[in-house]
Amino acid sequence: MSDSTLYDIVELGDPRLRVLALPVDLTRLQEALEVVQAMESRMQERGGVGIAAPQIGVGQQIMIIASKPNARYPDAPHMKPMVMFNPVPFNYSDHKVTLWEGCLSVPGIRGKVTRSDSVSVRYADNTGKLQEIRLDGFPARIFLHEYDHLVGKTFVDRVDSVTDLVTDKVYFKQMSTSVS
């Protein structure tokens, strides 16, 4: 199963996106790292800044955060991709920010989502070592977005109203006219 061609992005409506992901058995880390390779491949193919294992149909607590500027997020900070196994968020900031989000599993749609602007996370890294980190700004948003996938949610569940959903076409048109 190490061939990443066996995995494809699971899209909204697929029941695998609504299942609670199971913890990774860190004594079998090599198998989980094969899933990570498939995740990285799909994320890069689609120009994503993060991905969670349920998005490729794998019900395990694995995510990658990989903030970088691109067409979808031109102002994103650049960071080295971070693999997280069994992440546990804590210490959410009281300061909330509402921004547009998209998702590899919800192609062509964006939504306004309010999230904490920072969060602390405990997780195991790609060597199985336990780590703790504080994420701020866009990386915190990516983490919280990907964590939602581990608990069976998508950003669509987080919008306040259906009026906060738009197609990518409308979003990019509005962005280009607001810059002019």
Could you tell me which of 62, 118, 68, 60 has the C-alpha nearest to residue 89? Answer: 118
Block mean pLDDT (10 aa), the chain, length 180: 68 96 96 96 94 98 94 86 97 96 96 98 97 98 98 97 92 73
State phi, psi for 25 to the nearest 5 degrees.
-80, 105
pLDDT 10s digits, 134-157: 999 999 999 999 999 999 999 999
Domain that holds residue 145: 4-179
Distance linking the first and last C-alpha atoms of the chain = 48
Report the number of distinct structural domains present in the chain: 1
Instruction: State residue 72's pLDDT score.
Output: 75
Q: Which residues are catalytic?
A: 146
Q: What is the pLDDT of residue 175?
A: 75
pTM of the model: 0.92
CATH of residue 148: 3.90.45.10
At residue 80, the pLDDT reads 94
Residue with tokens 């070592």: 129
